[in-house]
Amino acid sequence: MSDDDAEPAETRRLPTLEKQAGGSPRSAAGATATGAAGDGRTGRFWSSRRVPAALVAAVLLAAAGLLLYDVAAVRAHRSAMAWRKWLARELATRHLDDTWVLAGAALAAAVGLWLIVLAVTPGLRRMLPMRPVAPGVRAGLDRPAAALILRDRAMEVAGVQSVRMTVGRHKAKARAVSHFRELDEVRADLDAALGAGLDQLGLAHRMRLTVHVRRPKKG
């Protein structure tokens, strides 16, 4: 019995590497997935907002519990708490144009607006959505990780001494220092290398690339 016959049915072979026209290897399976889903669009990841939801729930629970306890105490023929007496007196005597009333209303409106913004915006700005490669599967890439990958690609360019890479939601910016070669040549090579690096990241949305190259400071 040969080795191929002894291979389990559920075992898959690793994807082979094939040469592109430019001579760089790529995965055959990865090329198929990219070609099939290259035009797919996917939205940002939505944050679960656990911290704001926990804070709001804790504040509402504490306020409701304290108020319920005070109401039950009054129903049991006990005196109301001092804070509720003070609050009732202030609400009865202060006018709507009072400074403290306006400040409280502004604070309540700001908190409400903040909660509405959290409810209608996705959040997770650090996570870049990637192209879908299979139905029902979503992938994302952390922006610092993407910047680190692109920085490694930029450091492979001849003449580059150091690179500071910044990756935003729609734009990638490279600030490189070159200690030899012409700056225009280094900039052109960086454009090509980083452009290819952005394509290989598999992001769902095409990023704009900006490259700045300068000489190291003297002294």
At 56 the pLDDT is 87
CB 26 within 8 A of CB 17: yes
On the question of pLDDT at 53 being above 50, the answer is yes
CB 142 within 8 A of CB 194: no
At 45 the pLDDT is 76
At 7 the pLDDT is 43
Mean pLDDT of the chain: 80
CB 178 within 8 A of CB 186: yes
At 41 the pLDDT is 52
Q: What is the mean pLDDT of residues 156-162?
A: 93
d(CA 10, CA 93): 78
At 9 the pLDDT is 42
- Reported confidence tier of residue 219, pLDDT bands at 50, 70, 90: low
Whose CA is closest to 168, among 208, 117, 218, 121? 208
Query: 121 CB contacts (<8 Å, ≥6 apart)?
Result: none
The strand pairing partners of 166, in sequence order, are 173
On the question of pLDDT at 65 being above 70, the answer is yes
- Reported confidence tier of residue 68, pLDDT bands at 50, 70, 90: very high
- Reported confidence tier of residue 73, pLDDT bands at 50, 70, 90: confident
Quick: pLDDT tens for 10-19.
444 444 444 4
Question: pTM score, two decimals?
Answer: 0.58
Selected residue with higher pLDDT from 105 and 41: 105
Q: What is the mean pLDDT of residues 148-168?
A: 94
Whose CA is closest to 161, among 217, 201, 209? 217
Quick: pLDDT tens for 101-139.
899 999 999 988 988 888 888 878 788 888 887 887 888
At 95 the pLDDT is 86
Lowest mean pLDDT among 94-98, 175-179, 181-185, 192-196: 94-98
Selected residue with higher pLDDT from 50 and 17: 50
Cβ burial, residue 82 (10 Å; 0-12/13-18/19+): exposed
Eight-class DSSP state of 120: H
On the question of pLDDT at 21 being above 80, the answer is no
